[in-house]
Amino acid sequence: MPDMSDPFDLPFFDEPGGEPAPNPPARKAGGGIAARAMAARRGPQAQTPDYVSGLNPEQRLAVETTEGPVLVLAGAGTGKTRVLTTRIAHILATGRAYPSQILAVTFTNKAAREMKTRIGVLVGEAVEGMPWLGTFHSIGVKLLRRHAELAGLRSNFTILDTDDVIRLIKQLIQAEGLDDKRWPARQFAMMIDGWKNKGYGPKDIPEGDARSFANGKGRELYQAYQDRLKTLNACDFGDLLCLPIRMFREHPDVLAEYHRKFKYILVDEYQDTNTAQYMWLRLLAQRPKAERPTSPLRGGRAEGAGGGSLGTEGPPPLTPPLQGEGDAAASENRVNLCCVGDDDQSIYGWRGAEVDNILRFEKDFPGAAVIRLERNYRSTAHILATASHLIAHNEGRLGKTLFTEHSDPDASKVMVHAAWDSEEEARAVGETIEQLQRPDREGRRHNLNDMAILVRASFQMREFEDRFVTLGLNYRVIGGPRFYERQEIRDAMAYFRVVAQPADDLAFERIVNTPKRGLGETTIRQLHDIARARGVPMLTAAEDIVETEELKAKPRASLRNVVENFRRWQKMLDNTPHTELAEIIFEESGYTDMWKNDRSAEAPGRLENLKELIRSMEEYESLRSFLEHVALVMDTEQNAEQDAVTIMTLHSAKGLEYETVFLPGWEEGLFPHQRSLDEGGRSGLEEERRLAYVGVTRAKKNLHIWFVSNRRIHGLWQSTIPSRFLDELPEAHVDVAEAGSSYGGYGGAFAQGRGGNRQNPYGASRFDSVGSGNNAGSGSFSNTYATPGWARAQANKTAATDRNWGTRSGAGVERIGYGETDSQRGAGRGSVKTRTIEGELIAKSTMDTPSAFSVGDRVFHQKFGNGNVAAIEGNKLTIDFDKAGQKRVLDGFVTGV
Q: Is 325 a catalytic residue?
A: no
Query: Do 63 and 84 form a contact (C-beta atoms < 8 A)?
Result: no
Residue 419 Ramachandran class (φ > 0 left, ψ -120 to 50 alpha, else beta): beta
Query: Do 296 and 13 form a contact (C-beta atoms < 8 A)?
Result: yes
Average pLDDT (137-160) is 90
Dist CA 884 CA 549 (whole Å): 34
The pLDDT confidence band at residue 849, using thresholds 50, 70 and 90, is: low
pLDDT at 409: 82
- pLDDT for 526-581, tens place per residue? 888 888 888 888 888 888 888 877 778 888 888 999 999 999 999 898 888 988 99
Q: Is 81 a catalytic residue?
A: yes
230 is in an annotated binding site: no
The pLDDT confidence band at residue 704, using thresholds 50, 70 and 90, is: very high
pLDDT at 520: 83
79 is in an annotated binding site: yes
142/295: higher pLDDT: 142
Strand 70-74, strand 807-808: pairing = unpaired
pLDDT at 759: 44
Query: Do 236 and 160 form a contact (C-beta atoms < 8 A)?
Result: yes
Helix (H) or strand (E) holding 229: helix 218-231
Judged by average pLDDT, the poorest of 110-119, 569-578, 638-647 is 638-647
Dist CA 335 CA 368 (whole Å): 10
Query: Do 833 and 842 form a contact (C-beta atoms < 8 A)?
Result: no
pLDDT at 788: 54
The pLDDT confidence band at residue 420, using thresholds 50, 70 and 90, is: very high
Q: Is 554 a catalytic residue?
A: no
Q: Is the pLDDT of residue 525 over 90?
A: no
Cα dist from 535 to 338, 527, 551, 557, whole Å: 70, 12, 20, 24
pLDDT at 864: 81
Beta-bridged to residue 183, according to DSSP, are: none
Query: Do 210 and 216 form a contact (C-beta atoms < 8 A)?
Result: yes
Q: Is the pLDDT of residue 497 over 60?
A: yes
pLDDT-above-90 percentage for the chain: 34
Q: Is 261 a catalytic residue?
A: no
For residue 417, the SS3 value is strand
For every residue of 477-540, which 3-state class applies, written as one string? Answer: ECCCCCHHHCHHHHHHHHHHHHHHCCCCHHHHHHHCCCCCCCCCHHHHHHHHHHHHHHCCCHHH
Cα dist from 481 to 462, 771, 875, 881, whole Å: 11, 40, 37, 38
User: Dihedral of the CA atoms 277, 280, 286, 287 (nearest 10)?
Assistant: -170
Average pLDDT (104-133) is 84
Tell which residue, 226, 703, 643, has the closest CA to residue 476.
Answer: 643
Degrees, nearest 5: CA angle 76-683-137: 60
Annotated catalytic residue, options 226, 273, 345, 523:
345
Annotated catalytic residue, options 236, 269, 342, 621:
269
**Cα end-to-end span (Å), the chain:** 88
Q: Is the pLDDT of residue 699 over 90?
A: yes
536/12: higher pLDDT: 536
Cα dist from 747 to 434, 721, 738, 757, 760, whole Å: 21, 22, 12, 10, 5
Does the predicted model carry a pTM greater than 0.85?
no
Average pLDDT (84-102) is 90
Average pLDDT (400-420) is 89
Annotated catalytic residue, options 611, 689, 698, 887:
698
Query: Do 465 and 647 form a contact (C-beta atoms < 8 A)?
Result: yes
Most confident stretch, 6-10, 21-25, 306-310, 407-411: 407-411
Average pLDDT of the chain, as a whole number: 77
The pLDDT confidence band at residue 832, using thresholds 50, 70 and 90, is: very low
Strand 865-873, strand 876-881: pairing = antiparallel
pLDDT-above-70 percentage for the chain: 75
Amino acid identity, position 684? G
pLDDT at 327: 41
Judged by average pLDDT, the poorest of 273-277, 396-400, 627-631 is 627-631
- pLDDT for 430-456, tens place per residue? 999 998 888 877 777 889 999 999 999
75 is in an annotated binding site: yes
Most confident stretch, 370-374, 497-501, 533-537: 370-374
The pLDDT confidence band at residue 46, using thresholds 50, 70 and 90, is: very low
Average pLDDT (108-124) is 84
Annotated catalytic residue, options 81, 501, 821, 824:
81
Q: Is the pLDDT of residue 349 over 90?
A: no
pLDDT at 466: 85
Judged by average pLDDT, the poorest of 92-96, 315-319, 362-366 is 315-319
Task: List the alpha helices (DSSP H) in 597-673.
Answer: 603-617, 623-634
Q: Is 164 a catalytic residue?
A: no
Annotated catalytic residue, options 80, 298, 517, 700:
80
Q: Is the pLDDT of residue 484 over 90?
A: no
pLDDT at 643: 87
Average pLDDT (396-425) is 89
522 is in an annotated binding site: no
Query: Do 866 and 858 form a contact (C-beta atoms < 8 A)?
Result: yes
pLDDT at 554: 87
For every residue of 450-476, which 3-state class applies, written as one string? Answer: HEEEEECCHHHHHHHHHHHHHHCCCEE
Q: Is the pLDDT of residue 28 over 60?
A: no
For residue 822, the SS3 value is coil
The pLDDT confidence band at residue 481, using thresholds 50, 70 and 90, is: low
74 is in an annotated binding site: yes
Residue 400 Ramachandran class (φ > 0 left, ψ -120 to 50 alpha, else beta): beta
Q: Is 269 a catalytic residue?
A: yes
Q: Residue 84: count other Cβ atoms within 10 Å of its Cβ.
A: 26
- pLDDT for 734-787, tens place per residue? 999 875 444 444 333 333 333 334 444 444 433 344 334 444 333 333 334 445
Q: Is the pLDDT of residue 724 over 90?
A: yes
pLDDT at 44: 46
The pLDDT confidence band at residue 833, using thresholds 50, 70 and 90, is: very low
Positive or negative, the CA dihedral 321, 324, 325, 331 is positive
Dist CA 545 CA 554 (whole Å): 13
Cα dist from 522 to 526, 531, 534, 550, 561, whole Å: 6, 14, 18, 12, 18
120/383: higher pLDDT: 383
Average pLDDT (809-824) is 35
Amino acid identity, position 842? I
Dist CA 887 CA 861 (whole Å): 11
Average pLDDT (404-415) is 87
Q: Is the pLDDT of residue 636 over 90?
A: no
Q: Is the pLDDT of residue 24 over 70?
A: no
843 is in an annotated binding site: no
The pLDDT confidence band at residue 242, using thresholds 50, 70 and 90, is: very high
Annotated catalytic residue, options 268, 434, 598, 667:
268
pLDDT at 73: 94
